Structure 1
């Protein structure tokens, strides 16, 4: 790929991958903020805002706006995470001008009408009721509340039954005004557009936004000291167990060794240690996995296993033993070679469409890695040594720090002192 950095006359920058094979343009952009910017007592505000972005703008109410979307055949999808509000926007080249006019109106003149606000609020509350019966969602929410106690990351992104009803149209407007700003903006464009045209369009779409955001300061999160556990009783035959602890920040020099290590532990499907020990050898669970989550203000190594209630304690015991063994011994040379071979070979699959290219480049910019990372990344993975992985394994995998939430009716886990004190 030829990745260009474009700067508009108004000073807005963007990555561009220009190709004219198809008459399509994919935009992917983000504003730093996310749910960590939700004010006290208004949890779920960022999520609510993203649900309102197609509910009217300018002189169009919700019905007129959605009719215009269909007429122009644009794809628009706003989402929020703990640190970002993102949008995926796609249009046909022939309808670019009208489509970009519509996007400009969405960003600079969102309506947040009272009737649409109440309708979307009802949809969010209905979704929260469904989430109450989803053990995976319950385990994830309980883990965040336990691990990030007192930090904005401890609050659910979608809000709660206490906070969502309190959100009013003026709250939505206030959030958009504070967060949607030019100094807070990251943009990627991929497809049938040239640099000169994109530069003008960047100013047209985003130039009317405030110059500076008004973000509240968010401190770095300190995870609760483990081992600690919480059991959420739910009358289901299979428990969901989420476990985790301090990970490695994306800016840390040891992140890539940790990334390779995670593939070996639980990120590699049937090639991973945990899948081999928990499912293949012992038949304790259908699935077990692990992930690294490098947030802006925290880093987490996290895993999940789903197993019958009678096997929770044994499954956790096997997981802890395997994590301890890797922490002490590290992986084998063969495991490292297999991990690097897969991770380098699969990287190209992340760039198989305009939208996926835009998504990858957006997060390179979010993480401050720079445009050259696309070409350097596989060499950096290949350069990871066994000693690098052993060192980060020893640093990251001490099981005396595990934070664990269990949703279900585990038979033995509550009495297992090795899981830590009950929260």
Structure 2
């Protein structure tokens, strides 16, 4: 789920990169910008590329086209069919992966320095000249349809779909980016070609690289990779509405336990109060066992194995969300505990001890995902997409430490809206029914 990927990104951004990392800003001769961390200790480079727009650029009636197109990029180019493309890639000891979420098409490339030119030429051909052979379209379509059928039987997926539909009205965010069985079955090769032109364009590129490559070499790489793409793609979507209201929605699903998502409106990443909001969320539902939700719902009452909350930032919407699973007989109690903690935070804020503990954790922990070129490049491209500056890793801790107890108390009253929480329950909970 995009929700979880965004939560992981925000968690990673909540801790500083290694002090010795120096981010260079690179502009290619053709004007394409990128961030680079040079590391010549190992003859290997990781390249992360994002095209802003993602599955939100699906045209009306064509839901799932961008997702299917992305899954087909490696299925052939020019005179290379899918097996020949895979052999060429593997012979270079390179790896490519392609994905799509609501806001971006993502491309990840890993290659050895000695094979850089050949690997990047193969990647260029895949990006600029995908062949989308009809037999591959049918085969990959079948895989996507199988995934859709699987999601229809997964309580977590059902909860996410219901919550998005309730939150976002007729915006593309309101429905899954992989489409429905009906829309995917109806997609044609022409729809796939149109989705490629709409999303892979030079006016929406974000790039980060880490490893054995110089700024000059990276600039040349960028122009070679992208010069064959169209200058502009489809217009980006407008802001999404926020239609969530407080209450409970129950989706019947047989089983001994229920999956629960809860959410209300969140906060923009560039809001001046975002650092305070991040600290508050760490105290409320962060990854530590000392977080309030874990303490109250799991440790004191034994209602769940795990519960957490997270600030979610789409390009065109924000949510403050959480999730847990519990036995059908304890859903009502767990919901009331969560509401109670939300209200306690809004009314009372946090203690000075909680604030200092959260700050220490957020400024002192180094996430394991920063342990290699690939993970670093991935974080850097995410930083660009949410509008952070290249010096963010050097300034971030000071900004966290500058948050005062008065700041968090004020922001707690603003952020936490217990009466606005919408709980989506997928299961057969005892004594819990849908409310308006």
**TM superposition score category, shorter chain reference:** over 0.9
Q: 2:131 aligns with which of 111, 123, 133?
A: 111
Aligned counterpart, 2:16? none
CA contact (8 A) 1:230 1:406 kept: yes
Deviation at residue 347 of structure 1 after TM alignment:
4.0
Check the 8 A contact 1:36/1:152 in 2, yes or no: yes
Q: Which has the higher contact order (CA 8 A, sep 6+)?
A: 2
Identify which of 357, 362, 381 aligns with 2:381: 362
Q: How much does 1:348 deviate?
A: 5.6
1:244 alignment partner, SS class: strand
The aligned counterpart of 2:286 is 267
Which residue, out of 211, 219, 230, partners 1:191? 211
1: distance between equivalents of 2:365 and 2:149? 38
Structure 1 residues 41-60: aligned runs within 5 Å: 41-60=61-80
CA distance in 2, matches of 1:176, 1:236: 41
Alpha-carbon distance, 1:350 to partner: 4.3
**1:200 maps to 2:220:** yes
1:73-88 map, 5 Å = 73-88=93-108
| Cα distance in 2, alignment partners of residues 211 and 41 from structure 1 | 26
Whether 1:146 and 2:166 are equivalent positions in the alignment is yes
TM-score (norm 1): 0.96
Aligned to 1:300: 319
Aligned residues of 2:57 and 2:198 also touching (Cα < 8 A): no
What residue is the counterpart of 2:237 in the other structure? Answer: 218
Deviation at 1:126, TM superposition (A): 0.7
Check whether the contact 2:244–2:265 (CA below 8 A) recurs between aligned residues. Answer: no
Residue 45 of structure 1 deviates from its aligned partner by 1.7
Mark the runs of 5 or more structure 1 residues left unpaired by the alignment: none
Residue 364 of structure 2 corresponds to 345
Which moves more between the two structures, 383-392 or 101-110?
383-392
May I ask how many residue pairs the two structures share in their alignment? 416
Aligned to 1:409: 428
Pairs within 5 Å for 1:5-20: 5-20=25-40
Q: How does 1:107-256 map to 2 (within 5 A)?
A: 107-215=127-235, 217-256=236-275
Question: Which residue of the partner structure matches residue 382 of structure 1?
Answer: 401
Q: Structure 1 residue 327: deviation in Å?
A: 0.6
Question: Which residue in the other structure is 2:17 paired with?
Answer: none
Shift of 1:225: 4.1
How much has 1:98 moved relative to structure 2? 0.4
2:118 aligned with 1:98 = yes
Q: Give the superposed CA RMSD.
A: 1.3
| 1:70 matched to 2:90 | yes
Matching residue of 1:285: 304
Residues 49, 107 of structure 2: 8 Å contact kept: yes
Aligned-partner Cα distance in 2 for 1:161–1:387? 51
Partner SS, residue 271 of structure 1: coil
